Chain A
Amino acid sequence: MSAHNDSARDEVEPVDLDDPKLTRFEVYKEGLRRDDIEIIHYEPRFPKPGTKAEKRMERIVGGLFLLAGLFATLFVAAFIWWPWEYEGAATWRDPQTWYTPVLGFFLGFALLFFAVGVLTWAKKLLPVEELVQDRHDGGSSKDDRRIAESTVDTMVDDMGLRRRPFLVKSALLAAAPLGLAAIAPLGALIKDPGDMYTVTGWNAERYNDGEPIRLMMKDGALVRPDMVSAGGQITVYPAIDHGATNQFPTAPTLLIHLRETDAATLRGNLYPMYQDVDALWGNFVAYSKICTHVGCPASLYEQQSQRLLCPCHQSQFNVVDNAAPVFGPATRHLPMLPITVDDEGYFTATSDFLVPPGPAFWNRPSLPEEDEK
């Protein structure tokens, strides 16, 4: 304990609470003394009660409370009677446009007025005070510790934890499987990821009885070459049940109609695995739309630089070089969907993607042909 507090306690003598001459404040101070608190400074904010300044402060605080009540009433009234129902695009002249702002304004200011009222009461009307209390930091007294130690030791010996090591060991041995049993039900969540990363909606064997899968647009319209002008691109989906829904998250593909020179460049750069399956059809190329970084759609097509950009983490892919990554955190190219045009003039996929599309995963097989130029 600091010298300061020691001397403080010496000064303040305990009082006899039965003394009838004690004032209320003296009894109160005895409470402070018992809690090791000493008053350094304590004086009313307004030494002379009932002055003009004090009355003025009371009026301010009271006024703030009444304002808070008024605003709270307005909030409730607005909540009930202000026209609120959304009726399509409205202009600022329509009152329902203002429903949410009006609620916020009234409730906000009701709370703020009440808050400032309470704070003003505390800061301007409560006595000016400074007190000092002993901290009693750093553990219990030596006696308390010793007694607690003996109590725990007695408990331990009553149970015979030291004398009966077999019980302790068998209990511990049982606790491990019991703990396991407690978390085992969470195992119901476990699912074999299987081939969810490697098979997409373009897999004809699984989703179309082995028939080649056509390309369709969001609305289900099948895609013909004349639907995309040179330099243009559309998003296509497998023409199967729910092919354009989130049930096939790795299927969305970007069909690009390259200009003649760009197509020539791409053919010169084509990876052997895509050359082998003749992945392009004419000047059309189809790339997986799912970014190989963490799977956002890499959908911003910059025609001038022939780049695809993923807006999530700014990976950029070179369209005329197998959609290989040229900037940003992505490490692998966007897989190419081998396409052709069938007898009826519709685009079809000749197979699923040759490498798994979308983000990498821990047991993703790393294929040497991916890195081939």
Chain B
Amino acid sequence: MKRRNGSSDSLLTKAGGELDDRFKLAGPARVLFNKVFPDHWSFLLGEIALFSFILLLLSGTFLALFFDPSMTEVTYDGAYVPLQGIEMSRAYESTLHLSFEVRGGLFMRQMHHWSCLLFMASILVHMLRIFFTGAFRAPRETNWMIGIVLFWLGFFEGFFGYSLPDDGLSGTGLRIMEGMTASVPFIGPWASAALFGGQFPGTTVIPMLYIIHVFIFPLLMLGLIVVHVALVFIQKHTQWPGPGRTEHNVVGYRMFPNYVMKQVGFMLFIWGVLAAMGGLFQINPIWLFGPYEVSVVSSASQPDFYVMYLDGLIRLFPAWEFRVPPYFTLPAVFWPAIAGMGLSVLLPLLYPALERRFTKDRGHHNLLQRPRDNPGRTSLGVMVVVFWTIGAVSGGNDVFAEKFDISLNAMTWAGRIGIVVLPIIAYYLTYRIALGLQQHDREVLAHGLETGILMRDPNGRFYEVHQPLAEPDEHGHTELEYNGWVVPKKMNRVGALPPTDKGFFKSIEEPSENGSAARDEIESGSKH
């Protein structure tokens, strides 16, 4: 054992030497290996998106080997009996072929679709984390904007992706996109004719979306993701405030081996979940929808979840069409679809600049803020989340109405009123909750933790014993500044009274030593 270790060491040294002779790596490699990363679960949300993206590239490459983006009319004579003899496009036929007659094809297709959903979902959650903690502030505005662009590229990449099979559902999505495109002032009909090569649906849109879906957008996204991650690396990750953490340092563990091992494990974990989902959970069973025909649609035609809020806005928006007789028409769909989407791109892009302008805060921020410490921003974020959620729920209002036996029109009206009123209420409530949390933090800092122990003094007065967080003055007050750190709210957070029942499968009964001492001290009434 010993000797083999020794020889492999020298082999490693020799290989390193050969590499360094050629590439001069020793310095940069050391800097890389030693780089310190801060540690928090919430910093890993973006990684989920990154790992899903890698799996999307891998599974998508497999699909591209079998999918044929052609609109040539063919008669189906494949394995799936219910569709045999039906006229359809090559695109749809090759997707059916991929699903039924290619070994593992359905597994790959489903894994690809689930990865896309996880990609978009994790981007959204990652974005909320960045927003609510103020991580987008200087010097990281550029990376925030790259992230927003990546979200919208993913949005269209996903939409184009599920449009490719040319099944009944995807054709319905394209139909709606055509209606939206034609509504754009001045260029609408021309843009639509360019997109569909003339009248919808035409035969050119699927090949066009294919080259965008498999080449242009993935390339753009890969490039932006590389820049996104490189900027996080160069600018160094933000960190939560805490003991020893300042605006000018990073506290955490080293890139190698700790961080990299955790990342590799996490990546395999995400892939494992997605592989299991791709095999076990059905998604987008295109063979049930039939080929796209302009005269056929079914109820419960829902887009993927990340498009649903837009579809919901289109459903909720009132029938307001502006006409300039006799020449021009501004269709109702323009407002939610084109103006709405435009604002959904623009406002998030501009948000860091707008906040800088209104707060006049020009400084660099490497320490994160707790959401409660910036009630205005937090409330704004919750407002947007509520708006988005009502939109997304309204995107499925026919399904909700049917499943819960509600009037469809009542659902629509509830959405119309709700999307105006509820975000305002959400703003107010969030603001009050944030202020309440701030106040409670400061109360704990001033008076100490609630212990849950009630005492009665000789005069008959009841009071609760508090555990001060520092040496109190004669009134029992402590002078502790709030500095953005997490304030302990329970006794077991300060080391006393840990949970007695430990262990996963069986209890490990092991009362903490200092815990019992602290309890004795408190119960004897010497501290309050």
Binding site for B on A (CB under 8 A): 1-2, 4-5, 31-32, 34-35, 37, 40, 79, 84-89, 99-105, 107-119, 121-123, 126, 129-135, 137-138, 189-193, 196-197, 235, 237, 244-246, 249, 252, 289-290, 293-297, 299-300, 311-316, 325, 327-332, 358-368
**Are A89 and B81 in contact, with the CB atoms below 8 A?**
yes
**Are A131 and B175 in contact, with the CB atoms below 8 A?**
no
**Are A246 and B293 in contact, with the CB atoms below 8 A?**
yes
Interface residues on B, range: 35 or more
Nearest CB in chain A: distance from B13 CB, A? 12
| B430 at the A interface (CB under 8 A) | no
Looking at A1, A189, A294, A368, which has the most chain B CB atoms within 10 Å of its CB?
A294
**Are A112 and B254 in contact, with the CB atoms below 8 A?**
no
**Are A31 and B366 in contact, with the CB atoms below 8 A?**
no
* A189 partner residues in chain B, CB cutoff 8 A: 194-195, 197
**Are A314 and B412 in contact, with the CB atoms below 8 A?**
yes
**Are A249 and B272 in contact, with the CB atoms below 8 A?**
no
* A312 partner residues in chain B, CB cutoff 8 A: 172, 175-176, 297, 301
* A315 partner residues in chain B, CB cutoff 8 A: 319
| B62 at the A interface (CB under 8 A) | no
* A130 partner residues in chain B, CB cutoff 8 A: 251-253
| B397 at the A interface (CB under 8 A) | yes
**Are A190 and B190 in contact, with the CB atoms below 8 A?**
yes
8 Å CB contact of A1 from B79, B236, B248, B264: B248
How far apart sit A1 and B248, CA to CA, in the bound complex (Å)?
A: 6
* B297 partner residues in chain A, CB cutoff 8 A: 296-297, 299, 311-312
How far apart sit A108 and B190, CA to CA, in the bound complex (Å)?
A: 47
How far apart sit A244 and B333, CA to CA, in the bound complex (Å)?
A: 28
**Are B199 and A133 in contact, with the CB atoms below 8 A?**
no
Listed stretches B17-25, B214-222, B276-284, B488-496; interface member: B276-284
8 Å CB contact of A132 from B36, B280, B293: B36
21 contacts between A and B (CB under 8 A): A35-B34, A100-B106, A122-B265, A126-B257, A129-B258, A132-B36, A132-B244, A133-B35, A133-B236, A135-B250, A137-B364, A189-B197, A190-B190, A193-B190, A294-B333, A295-B200, A312-B175, A328-B412, A360-B329, A361-B329, A368-B325
**Are A246 and B292 in contact, with the CB atoms below 8 A?**
yes
**Are A311 and B198 in contact, with the CB atoms below 8 A?**
no
**Are B246 and A196 in contact, with the CB atoms below 8 A?**
no
**Are A112 and B315 in contact, with the CB atoms below 8 A?**
no
**Are A5 and B249 in contact, with the CB atoms below 8 A?**
yes
**Are B81 and A88 in contact, with the CB atoms below 8 A?**
yes
Interface readout for B189-206 with A: 1 if CB under 8 Å, 0 if not?
110111101111100000
8 Å CB contact of B193 from A191, A296, A367: A191
How far apart sit A107 and B87, CA to CA, in the bound complex (Å)?
A: 36
Nearest CB in chain A: distance from B436 CB, A? 33
CB-CB nearest in chain A for B30: A31
Known: A31-B34, A35-B35. 15 other contacts (CB 8 A): A2-B247, A100-B279, A108-B272, A113-B272, A115-B272, A119-B262, A130-B251, A130-B252, A131-B252, A131-B254, A197-B189, A296-B172, A297-B295, A359-B182, A360-B331
* B183 partner residues in chain A, CB cutoff 8 A: 359-362
**Are A296 and B103 in contact, with the CB atoms below 8 A?**
no
Looking at A105, A117, A297, which has the most chain B CB atoms within 10 Å of its CB?
A297
* B185 partner residues in chain A, CB cutoff 8 A: 362
| B139 at the A interface (CB under 8 A) | yes
- When A190-B194, A295-B176, A329-B315 are in contact, do A108 and B273 touch as well, CB less than 8 Å? yes
* A193 partner residues in chain B, CB cutoff 8 A: 189-190, 192-193, 198
CB-CB nearest in chain A for B270: A115
* B253 partner residues in chain A, CB cutoff 8 A: 129-131
Nearest CB in chain A: distance from B73 CB, A? 8
**Are A235 and B279 in contact, with the CB atoms below 8 A?**
no
**Are B252 and A252 in contact, with the CB atoms below 8 A?**
no
How far apart sit A192 and B250, CA to CA, in the bound complex (Å)?
A: 59
Nearest CB in chain B: distance from A351 CB, A? 20
* B80 partner residues in chain A, CB cutoff 8 A: 86
How far apart sit A4 and B250, CA to CA, in the bound complex (Å)?
A: 12
**Are A35 and B31 in contact, with the CB atoms below 8 A?**
yes
**Are B268 and A115 in contact, with the CB atoms below 8 A?**
yes
How far apart sit A367 and B327, CA to CA, in the bound complex (Å)?
A: 9
**Are B257 and A100 in contact, with the CB atoms below 8 A?**
no
How far apart sit A235 and B398, CA to CA, in the bound complex (Å)?
A: 23
How far apart sit A134 and B364, CA to CA, in the bound complex (Å)?
A: 15
- When A293-B332, A328-B319, A368-B325 are in contact, do A133 and B250 touch as well, CB less than 8 Å? yes
* B103 partner residues in chain A, CB cutoff 8 A: 79, 84
How far apart sit A136 and B101, CA to CA, in the bound complex (Å)?
A: 58
| B230 at the A interface (CB under 8 A) | no
**Are A331 and B275 in contact, with the CB atoms below 8 A?**
no
8 Å CB contact of B179 from A85, A244, A293: A293
How far apart sit A315 and B107, CA to CA, in the bound complex (Å)?
A: 37
| B330 at the A interface (CB under 8 A) | yes
* B525 partner residues in chain A, CB cutoff 8 A: none
CB-CB nearest in chain A for B329: A364
* A4 partner residues in chain B, CB cutoff 8 A: 244, 246, 249
How far apart sit A88 and B261, CA to CA, in the bound complex (Å)?
A: 46
Tell me the residues in window 280-335 of chain B with beta carbons closer than 8 Å to chain A beta carbons.
280, 292-301, 311, 314-321, 323-333
How far apart sit A197 and B181, CA to CA, in the bound complex (Å)?
A: 13
* A245 partner residues in chain B, CB cutoff 8 A: 87
**Are B331 and A359 in contact, with the CB atoms below 8 A?**
yes
* B294 partner residues in chain A, CB cutoff 8 A: 246, 249, 252, 290, 297
* A34 partner residues in chain B, CB cutoff 8 A: 30
* A5 partner residues in chain B, CB cutoff 8 A: 248-249
CB-CB nearest in chain A for B199: A196
How far apart sit A367 and B262, CA to CA, in the bound complex (Å)?
A: 66
* B247 partner residues in chain A, CB cutoff 8 A: 2, 135, 137
| B428 at the A interface (CB under 8 A) | no
**Are A126 and B258 in contact, with the CB atoms below 8 A?**
yes
**Are A331 and B276 in contact, with the CB atoms below 8 A?**
no
| B180 at the A interface (CB under 8 A) | yes
* A359 partner residues in chain B, CB cutoff 8 A: 178-179, 182-183, 331, 333
**Are B36 and A131 in contact, with the CB atoms below 8 A?**
yes
8 Å CB contact of B186 from A99, A115, A121, A362: A362
**Are B261 and A122 in contact, with the CB atoms below 8 A?**
yes
**Are A116 and B269 in contact, with the CB atoms below 8 A?**
yes
How far apart sit A193 and B178, CA to CA, in the bound complex (Å)?
A: 13
* A300 partner residues in chain B, CB cutoff 8 A: 299
**Are A103 and B104 in contact, with the CB atoms below 8 A?**
yes
How far apart sit A299 and B299, CA to CA, in the bound complex (Å)?
A: 10
* B267 partner residues in chain A, CB cutoff 8 A: 115
* A252 partner residues in chain B, CB cutoff 8 A: 294-295
**Are A311 and B298 in contact, with the CB atoms below 8 A?**
yes
The 8 A-B residue pairs whose C-beta atoms are closest, nearest first, are A104-B279, A108-B276, A294-B179, A111-B272, A252-B295, A112-B272, A115-B268, A118-B265
Interface readout for B361-376 with A: 1 if CB under 8 Å, 0 if not?
0001010000000000
CB-CB nearest in chain B for A3: B246
| B468 at the A interface (CB under 8 A) | no
CB-CB nearest in chain B for A247: B199
- When A2-B246, A111-B271, A329-B318 are in contact, do A361 and B331 touch as well, CB less than 8 Å? yes
* A100 partner residues in chain B, CB cutoff 8 A: 104, 106-107, 110, 279
Interface readout for B386-409 with A: 1 if CB under 8 Å, 0 if not?
000000000001100000000011
**Are B251 and A365 in contact, with the CB atoms below 8 A?**
no
Nearest CB in chain B: distance from A169 CB, A? 31
**Are A329 and B276 in contact, with the CB atoms below 8 A?**
no
CB-CB nearest in chain A for B110: A100
* B87 partner residues in chain A, CB cutoff 8 A: 245
CB-CB nearest in chain A for B324: A366
Nearest CB in chain A: distance from B112 CB, A? 13
